[in-house]
Amino acid sequence: MNHDIRLFGAVAVRPAVLALISQFEAATGYNVAVKFELNPTVKKQIEAGEPFDLVIINPHMVQDLAAMGKVKAGSQVAFGRIAMGVAARAGSRSLDIGSMEGFEHALKSARSIAYAVEGTSGAYFSGLLERLGIADEVKPRLVGIAGGRTALAVARGEAELAVLPVTSILAAAPDVMLVGRFPSELQSYIDFAIGISADPKDTEAAKQLSEFLMSADVDGTLATKGIERGKGHAA
């Protein structure tokens, strides 16, 4: 008998999660209905009453939802982290952004740079420009993108470069290429956690999906999609 499990997650984890759902459905007979939005939007919609069984967003947001009684207390587990990267249209010239100097030069030389105006990655990038002292120089060439479509901006030629989570860059291939990850000194990993609804349609089904997504068996698939497991991660 099929049961629907409603999974609501952040856009950044979408490519990796979608790669795993068919495996879970085949193994369990459950049907997983998925929905993805930017992190803040997921939280706001759940706060407003959006039904879900499993959520994957930033850890502090899962904690907030648990405090509100939307997520079951004690169900939160760390899912993984995603590095920030720079994207360009496929076939563009290569750039060396491995050093802070190279990274800054690329940003200051780009004709336009797309970023997620509403997302976690965009907020970090905006703050980084201020920290590096190049905000005034770069901001006039920033292109704010809404709705998790940042990679499409470079694919369509609307921006020369884009800054966004590596998962979203890899998922946009072959039209988009990963120029590189942020230099280690500037890297900010976006963490994600899983939480089970305080009122799931099927508690056992939601628990099974959470355990599947945390299983070491899926680590390899997640890595190819750009999600790194944290130290001490356990199923």
Q: How far apart are CA 67 and CA 60, in angstroms?
A: 10
Two structure tokens written together for 115: 């970023």
Q: Which residues pair with 91 in a beta bridge?
A: none
What architecture does CATH give domain 4-81+192-228?
Answer: 3-Layer(aba) Sandwich (3.40)
Work out the pLDDT band at 235, boundaries 50, 70, 90: very low
Q: Per-residue pLDDT for 32 more than 90?
A: yes
Enumerate residues 6+ apart whose C-beta is below 8 A from 185: 100
Residues 167-192: tens digit of each pLDDT? 999 999 999 999 999 999 999 999 99
Annotated domain spans of the chain: 4-81+192-228, 84-181
- 84-181 is classed CATH 3.40.225.10: no
Note the pTM of the prediction, 2 decimals.
0.87
Judging by beta carbons within 10 Å of its beta carbon (0-12, 13-18, 19+), is residue 204 exposed, middle or buried? exposed
| Spatial CA neighbour of 80 closest among 235, 231, 227 | 227
Residues 113-150: tens digit of each pLDDT? 999 998 889 999 999 999 999 999 999 999 999 877 89
Please tell me what DSSP assigns to residue 194. Answer: E
Q: Kindly give the pairing relationship between strand 4-10 and strand 31-37.
A: parallel
